[in-house]
Amino acid sequence: MRRESIELVQESFPRVAAIAPQAAALFYGRLFEIDPGSRRLFQRSDLDLQGQKLMATLGYLVGMLYRPESLVPAAQHLAQRHVGYGVTLAQYDSVGTALLWTLEQGLGEGFTPELRAAWVEVYSTLAEVMRAAATEAA
């Protein structure tokens, strides 16, 4: 991950956190549209609560981007729990697509091409670590 990407993503996070409740609703709506199969995984979930957890954890992981020694084990444990929820490797792409779309909706013009590229880089790296841990755990 490039240093500039980390900086851009960390700088943008307070703006993401400020719109977290709306962002979470947009996010799940979009996720279920692009990946209808994922809806089944959340059948018994309170999506407001789940959205809060997702945003809080995303913020926590984003805060650790400069500390891979803390970030990697946290992402690995999260990924292992996701194997138990029935999440597939391909669904990390669906979540990435829904997340980028949500950021675009939520941040509007503030979601510049540079910021988008930075989020793509950060999410891809995170998803790679999580998919590798999920593969080992499965």
For ligand HEM, the closer of residues 12 and 91 by Cβ is 91
Rounded Cα distance between 111 and 104, Å, is: 6
Binding status of residue 32 toward ligand HEM by CB under 6 A: no
Give counts: helices (H), strands (E), the chain.
Answer: 6, 0
As measured in angstroms, the least distance from the Cβ of 94 to ligand HEM is 6
Binding status of residue 42 toward ligand HEM by CB under 6 A: yes
Binding status of residue 82 toward ligand HEM by CB under 6 A: yes
3-state DSSP assignment of residue 65: coil
For ligand HEM, the closer of residues 57 and 112 by Cβ is 57
x-marked contacts with ligand HEM along 45-74 as a string, rule CB under 6 A = x----x--xx--xx----------------
As measured in angstroms, the least distance from the Cβ of 115 to ligand HEM is 17
Binding status of residue 85 toward ligand HEM by CB under 6 A: yes
Q: Site size for ligand HEM, by CB under 6 A?
A: 18
Extract the tokens encoding 29: 């709506």
Place of tokens 């947009």: 26
DSSP 103-137: HHHHHGGGS-HHHHHHHHHHHHHHHHHHHHHHHHH
